[in-house]
Each structure stands twice: as C-alpha cells, then as structure tokens.
Structure 1
Amino acid sequence: MSDGINILMYHQVGPFAQLEGAMAEHRSTYCRVERFAAQMAFLKRFGYAVLSMDQVLACVRGKAPIPPRAVALTFDDGYENFAAYAWPILRHHGFPAMVYLIAGLVGQPSRWFERDGRPTPPLMTADRIRQLRAEGCGFGGHSVDHVKLAEQDDATIRREVTDCKAMLGDLLGEPVRHFCYPFGSHDLRAVEACAEAGWATATTCERAPATTADDPLTLPRKAIAWGDSLFGVWWKIHVKNTPKRPPIRRAV
C-alpha cells in the first residue's frame, strides 16, 4: 500500500454514445459511466477513505492524520454530464467530490475543444451548480478562461486566479477555497498568485500521492481515464507514483 492521499482526477463521465465522432480519439479525459460506477463501488467495498478537499488540506498540513487508503475525487471543468451521471453515483455512496469550475464559461460550451475538432459538451449552468451545492457537492476554481497559466504574462495570471475566486464566490454566495491549474500548467508565478488570492489548495497533474511534504498549492493528482480497468485504478492508487518534475517551491 502507498502512503499519502491519492487525489484522483476525472473530467467527463457519461455513456459510450458520447464518444462517437471526434471524441473517440480523445479518450484520456473521459470515463465511461459504467466503469465509473464500478470504480466507486470498488472504493466503497474495500473501505477506502474518500476525503473532501478540506480534509485533504488538514491532512497535508499535519492537522489531521492521513487515513489508510485515503483518496479524494476531483472533476475538472464542470461538465453537465457530471450532474447527469457522476453525481447520482457519488451521492449513492455518500462520497464527497470537488468540481473545478471555469468561472468565465459557466453554462457555455467547452469551446477550447474546437481547436482539436472535438464536440463541445456543455458546462453546468449557475442554477445547476447551486442545486448540486445545496445537495452537498463541493466546488472550486479552474481559472476564468481555461488557459495554460504558465504561458501567460503576469497580469493575466493574476486576473485568471483572482477573478475566478471572486466570480465563483458571487455565484455560490460563499467563499471558494480550492483551485485547479488548467491543463496542469503552472509555474512559480501561478503558485504565488494563488497564495496572494487566498486559495487554500491548488491541484496539478503531477502523478503522486499527496503527503505532508507537499505545498498545498501544488498538490499532485492521478488521472483516471477511459481505458482504466478496476485493476488499472488500483495500480494507479497503490503503485504508479511518477512525478513528471520536481515540485515548484515557493517561500512560505
């Protein structure tokens, strides 16, 4: 068994029919709903501790012990198919989830797919987001415009990080504390901008469990995708720990 908290990263969850056409060539950010249901049942059956991001924060700060078999469930972009397919399964098992919303694209198509010739599935509307929040779903920020932060100038980074927090706070009527770097793209400027904006955590795409050695603003995650069987999910949780690069260190 691996130590730490395995923060799992999902994007779209839905039926096979939604993979028809161009989407069939981009399965890495799509989980078939039948597999998702089996994965959640697996976590429940074998006693995994599914943590909220607030609980993850307490653990990596050393304010709470990391439970055995600790995982967290995160969903990037805020697709409508999360509400239709993933959320009912999560509620059935009583699992917390963190959905990272693109503040400037709420209720719009996922238009960044256009450049790859992919369909542009809809993102959740403000009303849907408020509904799910009332039902217990957690929401965080994923920038304003879904851009690669490490490729932006300083002013754009600050706007994407700071305005996202304000916009989602207004939408939900409560502070939004958890952030996710779009495409996993971040550098020291982006991390420091998150700190200045008051984000409590920020997640990356680095492949490792989160531990007390991690900066809460550069937490690693493990992507779960179309091709992952139950064994593959187990393997990613307990064996596959391969950060792509050394973590970015900020002065704290």
Structure 2
Amino acid sequence: MQHPRVSILMYHQVGEFRPMRKHRANYCDHRRFSAQMELVARFYQVIDLETALAGLYGQQPLPRRALVLTFDDAYENFAEHAWPVLERHRLPAIVYAISGYLGRRAEWFAKDPGRPIPRLLSGARLRELHAAGMMIGSHTVDHLRLAELSPKQQRKQLADSRAALEDLLGAPVVHLCYPFGSFNAVTLELAPECGYQSAVTCLRGAATPQDHPLALPRKAISFGDSLLGYVWKLSLKHAPKPELTTWRRP
C-alpha cells in the first residue's frame, strides 16, 4: 500500500531578475511562475497547509497529486507578482514572515554581490494579505540560523515572532519555517512549547506520514526550472535526500 504524500513547494522571490549561477532557489521569474500556477491549477490539487497536515497524519484523506505552496521571507514582490496569480487561480498558499524585518530590506542578500537587496512586506501590507485570505506563518524574529543559537536564544526567536505576528494579524500563527533550513533537536523540543504545530525545512523530498510535523521536507523551485523540469519535481522527485532520514519517524 502506498503511503500518502504531498509536495510542499518552496518559493522565495517572484519577479524579474537577471540570470544567475548562484542561489537560484531564491528567485523565480514572474512569467515562469504564472505558467507554473496555470499548470498546477489544471492538473494538481493545491491544498492549504492545514489540510495537508490533516491528510498526512490521518485525520482525513489526502487528494492525489497534492501540493502546498510556501513562500519564505515575505518579500514585497510577492504582493506584486505572486499574489495576483494565486488569487486569479484561487490557489491557497502560506507566506512565512520575519517579524523583526517587516518593511525592511533583506540584509542577508548583501552576501550576494551584484544583486539588489530586496525589501520585505510591511506589517500593514501583510495584514491586508491575511485579510484577503493568505495564511501567514512565522520565519522567526531576525532570520538567524537557529541551530547556531543557545536554547534561550532559540526560544526568544520562536516565541517573540509568533507573539508579534499574532498581535499584528489578530489571528493564531501556528506554522513555522526555519531560516536557512537550520534547526536541531533542541528546536524540535522548543517549537511546540512555543505554540507551533508544524515547521518546514529546506530538506528535499515529498512529505509523508513518516516525517516529523516539525521537520517537513520541501521541494525548492529554482530560477532555472523549465516547465518540464517543474513537472518532474512535482510528479517524480519524491525520494528524500539522505540528510532527511535523520528526522524521519521509524
């Protein structure tokens, strides 16, 4: 019997960019994104994260060809280029926001010389998107590598971000995304204590019931993905990379 699975897709920026060789998973051309969303709207079942979690862990059946759309960092260009396409096709998604960087520039891009440093959505704009139906998750306070922090520092990043976003949105924020995919066993203990029900990683593969709900794998969508390559990732590239098995259930 085949276990249920869902492809959780990882996007970052959506817009118009010059070709690049490095950090390609940080960029998606807006024209390719539009074509990708047209394809998934026709041939896949795009579901929200909570429906995916219920299907993975036995509360309800998962549809075939199930997808979840995730967007890390909450860039300004999401509102300009991604949200109108999602709205047109009525596709659910989740945006993971960095509570301490709302309306600021993504300073970590300074390490990618020659590229503009993008700005992140303001709190007011994030609130508007949430009111329009967008699910919002936490990407911590300061976008730091959690595995490099002390337990006390980790707890502050997790708890303070959730509190700030809930205060901004007036709604529960129970889903988390680890900056740079960085987490450890301490993080897995702290996240539920801080009120999180799920967390996504940068580990590659399709999510299955074997996966810890606080260490969910994703499939990175890259600047260089052709439509054929995109379909291959969605439909065939399910096997986890070796590092994922550490966090899988027996």
Q: Which amino acid aligns with 1:214?
A: D
Shift of 1:247: 3.4
Unpaired runs of at least 5, structure 2: none
Q: Which amino acid aligns with 2:45?
A: A
> Which residue of structure 1 aligns with residue 108 of structure 2?
112
Measure, in 2, the Cα distance between the counterparts of 1:174 and 1:91: 21
Measure, in 2, the Cα distance between the counterparts of 1:136 and 1:81: 18
Retained in 1: the 8 A contact 2:96–2:136? yes
Deviations 1:60-118 (A, max 9, x none): 22101111000000000000000000000000000001000001101100011123334
Is 2:222 aligned against 1:247? no
Equivalent position SS for 1:136: coil
Retained in 1: the 8 A contact 2:138–2:165? yes
Unpaired runs of at least 5, structure 1: none
Measure, in 2, the Cα distance between the counterparts of 1:205 and 1:244: 13
Shift of 1:225: 1.1
Deviations 1:216-246 (A, max 9, x none): 1111100001001111111112222232412
> Which residue of structure 2 aligns with residue 236 of structure 1?
233
> Which residue of structure 1 aligns with residue 65 of structure 2?
69
Equivalent position SS for 1:74: strand
Change (3 A) 1:2 1:248: closer
Equivalent position SS for 2:203: coil
Shift of 1:248: 2.5
Measure, in 2, the Cα distance between the counterparts of 1:42 and 1:122: 29
Measure, in 2, the Cα distance between the counterparts of 1:187 and 1:156: 13
> Which residue of structure 2 aligns with residue 160 of structure 1?
157
Shift of 1:249: 6.1
> Which residue of structure 1 aligns with residue 126 of structure 2?
129
After superposing the two structures, state which structure 1 stretch, 82-91 or 58-67, moved more. 58-67
Shift of 1:26: 3.5
Measure, in 1, the Cα distance between the counterparts of 2:166 and 2:247: 27
Equivalent position SS for 1:221: strand
Measure, in 2, the Cα distance between the counterparts of 1:2 and 1:63: 14
> Which residue of structure 2 aligns with residue 140 of structure 1?
137
> Which residue of structure 2 aligns with residue 14 of structure 1?
15
Equivalent position SS for 1:76: strand
Is 2:206 aligned against 1:205? no
Measure, in 2, the Cα distance between the counterparts of 1:140 and 1:5: 19
Measure, in 2, the Cα distance between the counterparts of 1:3 and 1:200: 19
- The count of corresponding residues between Structure 1 and Structure 2 is 245
Shift of 1:152: 1.1
Is 2:42 aligned against 1:45? yes
Change (3 A) 1:210 1:25: closer
Retained in 2: the 8 A contact 1:207–1:244? no
Is 2:186 aligned against 1:189? yes
Change (3 A) 1:224 1:165: same
Equivalent position SS for 2:142: coil
Q: Which residue among 87, 94, 102 is the counterpart of 1:91? A: 87
After superposing the two structures, state which structure 1 stretch, 235-244 or 143-152, moved more. 235-244
Shift of 1:206: 1.3
Runs of 4+ with deviation above 6 angstroms: none
Measure, in 2, the Cα distance between the counterparts of 1:134 and 1:26: 32
Is 2:74 aligned against 1:58? no
TM-score (ref. length: structure 1): 0.92
Retained in 2: the 8 A contact 1:105–1:144? yes
Shift of 1:191: 1.3
Equivalent position SS for 2:8: strand
